[in-house]
Structure 1
Amino acid sequence: MAEKLTFPAESAALLEPRLPPTPNSEDASRSRPFVTLTFATSLDSSLSLAPGVRTRLSGPGSKAMTHYLRTRHAAILVGVSTVLADDPALNCRIAGASHQPRPIVIDANLRWTPRRSDKVFEVCRSGAGLAPFVLTGIDASQLPPESVELLHEHGGKYIHVRTTRFEATGRLRFSWDDILAALQAEDLASVMVEGGGQIINSLLDPAYHNLIDSVIVTIAPTWLGQGGVVVSPDRVTDSAGVPFPVARLSHVSWHPFGEDVVLCGTLRK
């Protein structure tokens, strides 16, 4: 069984202004889930050494912080590439935690074939996590019955979400508005968007900045080198074709956790 983690109360207090409102607060009634964008990156803005290569960046302190954040959100969201590369448990390992977040897997084209041996199901059977909700653009009649049954057995399910077809690749893809609407329909009031690169970069598109309530980024003191999976959204330009910054954080604070530094902020509208 994975080691239980602890996160000091004084450190948790530093993050409190960045977290979703409590269920009983006046801000708890919202038209969409509270969205926290959070990830760990190297000094060269890389999430991993290469696509599909699992790369550990967070030290013990910032890792515990991430698991603490999971206790404060109703759901954690990752793309299917992260599931295929990392086989993540997608649970919270803070000692004494009374809440487990619901894993959300973005899998528009149904690339993931769930297996009983996947960590996310192992922790579910042990009572240390929840089964995932898989958001897909594939019609229910075309879903593999074995996968549907496995998810249902553990308390998870497929959720059909409206898609558009990306002309360059022919693949289906979601709008973030439709993703959040699907989570809202499941009474998931908050979500941590954790990765991977395509998911993060798509959310950082200027069209979706108004959907992001909080940004919490762990910066590890390491360079991974060229060829990694980089956090870098598409370039934007003005009407004359001159590029300008895609986004900038405001209300910024920096918090050291061990050798890592955690950057918190909000996107300027």
Structure 2
Amino acid sequence: TAAGPRARGGTAVVTLEPCNHTGRTGPCTVALREAGIARVIYAVDDPNPDAAGGAQALREAGIEVVKGVGAADARAGALRPWLTATRLSRPFVTWKYAATLDGRVAAADLSARWISSPASRADAHALRAVVDAILVGSGTVLADDPQLTVRDGDGTPAEHQPLRVVLDRRHRTPQSARVLDNAAATLVLDTAAPRFALKALFDRGVRHVLLEGGPTLAGAFVEARCVDEVIAYLSPLLLGDGPSALGHAGIPSLSDAVTLDVESVTRLADDVKIVARPRWGEAAER
């Protein structure tokens, strides 16, 4: 609609098949038809049965439709969290942490600011900006009192703020906690079970969760096979003692270790950023 009359006779190129249903907005197919679009190119069919059928509706309206262009890149890129959430009926979960080269997320005295470099922290805020929710446990709230907001390079709050989520089965979050301020919306869930929490978030429309909790919560999500992506910021430091990045995760022996497919390794100042995907197999989708 922003193009106005210039759109008439034009080509629309999108990643996902235009929807054919009314949700929070009207059908994309109607908007394209009314704009006078003559040709639509898209990468991936919409797997949502309520929204599918857009391609056929466009063809019936006399609009040329080309599908499957760049499908593999779209599935592996921008659409991956949404497609995964739609398939599994739970949000896509990215577990993000910063650690030393010997895997410590804090020192023996629990000091942790700052293990990662300013470049890594800026990258992490860019990651926060594209998710629907940031999730921690009550232990992290008590230990670090994080605000869990997205901030620009100069420290000012970004326009988009994800939902802040605290898993607090024991009702330990104090009313003075910064996560309860008015900088963004906050949801406190009375559960420590990853799948229960993710079901509640999915029902609220959350499709991508950034897991920023400590070792205990990370271990619970790994044990439940509810981690779809791991992003680690590794700093060239050694601590020896102190909590590790991952707590108990139900992995009794080396033969049970979770294998990761490394997707990228990037240098951020003196840090190294690793993006990897766990190999869960079909069992994780049950």
TM-score, with length taken from structure 2: 0.63
Residue 54 (structure 1) shift: 4.0
Alignment of 1:231 with 2:246, yes or no, is yes
Counterpart amino acid of 2:93?
V
Task: Please give the alpha-carbon distance, in whole angstroms, between the structure 1 residues aligned to 2:105 and 2:206.
Answer: 27
Which secondary structure does the structure 2 equivalent of 1:134 belong to?
Answer: strand
Matches within 5 A, 1:60-99: 60-94=118-152, 97-99=158-160
Between the two proteins, the alignment pairs up a number of residues equal to 203
Which secondary structure does the structure 2 equivalent of 1:78 belong to?
Answer: strand
Residue 229 (structure 1) shift: 4.2
Matches within 5 A, 1:242-253: 243-253=254-264
Further displaced range: 102-111 or 54-63: 54-63
Residue 28 (structure 1) shift: 6.8
8 Å contact from structure 1 (residues 76, 194) kept in 2: yes
Counterpart amino acid of 2:184?
L
Q: Which runs of 5+ in 2 are unaligned?
A: 1-73, 281-286
Counterpart amino acid of 2:207?
A
Matches within 5 A, 1:54-133: 54-94=112-152, 97-115=158-176, 118-122=177-181, 124=182, 129-133=183-187
Correspondence for 1:168: none
Summarize the Cα distance change of 1:64–1:267 in structure 2 as closer, same or farther, 3 Å threshold.
same
Residue 17 (structure 1) shift: 8.2
Which secondary structure does the structure 2 equivalent of 1:46 belong to?
Answer: coil
Residue 232 (structure 1) shift: 4.4
8 Å contact from structure 1 (residues 77, 192) kept in 2: yes
Summarize the Cα distance change of 1:243–1:261 in structure 2 as closer, same or farther, 3 Å threshold.
closer
8 Å contact from structure 1 (residues 19, 214) kept in 2: no
Counterpart amino acid of 1:260?
D
Correspondence for 1:256: 267
Residue 245 (structure 1) shift: 4.3
Task: Please give the alpha-carbon distance, in whole angstroms, between the structure 1 residues aligned to 2:194 and 2:109.
Answer: 23
Alignment of 1:36 with 2:94, yes or no, is yes
Q: CA RMSD for the aligned pairs?
A: 2.7
Residue 22 (structure 1) shift: 8.4
Counterpart amino acid of 1:225?
G
Residue 130 (structure 1) shift: 0.7
Per-residue CA deviation, residues 38-61 of structure 1 (Å, 9 max, x unaligned), is 111111111111475443211011
Per-residue CA deviation, residues 236-259 of structure 1 (Å, 9 max, x unaligned), is 34xxxx642421211432011111
Summarize the Cα distance change of 1:22–1:247 in structure 2 as closer, same or farther, 3 Å threshold.
closer
Further displaced range: 176-185 or 29-38: 29-38
Task: Please give the alpha-carbon distance, in whole angstroms, between the structure 2 residues aligned to 1:193 and 1:73.
Answer: 10
Per-residue CA deviation, residues 47-96 of structure 1 (Å, 9 max, x unaligned), is 11147544321101110111001111000001111111111111000358
Summarize the Cα distance change of 1:99–1:41 in structure 2 as closer, same or farther, 3 Å threshold.
same
Instruction: Among all aligned residue pairs of Structure 1 and Structure 2, give the percentage whose two residues are the same amino acid.
Output: 32
Residue 200 (structure 1) shift: 1.0
8 Å contact from structure 2 (residues 84, 91) kept in 1: no
Alignment of 1:135 with 2:189, yes or no, is yes
Further displaced range: 196-205 or 88-97: 88-97
Q: Which has the higher contact order (CA 8 A, sep 6+)?
A: 1
Residue 212 (structure 1) shift: 2.0
Correspondence for 1:181: 199
Summarize the Cα distance change of 1:85–1:92 in structure 2 as closer, same or farther, 3 Å threshold.
same
Residue 26 (structure 1) shift: 6.3
Task: Please give the alpha-carbon distance, in whole angstroms, between the structure 2 residues aligned to 1:106 and 1:100.
Answer: 19
Residue 112 (structure 1) shift: 1.6
Summarize the Cα distance change of 1:106–1:72 in structure 2 as closer, same or farther, 3 Å threshold.
same
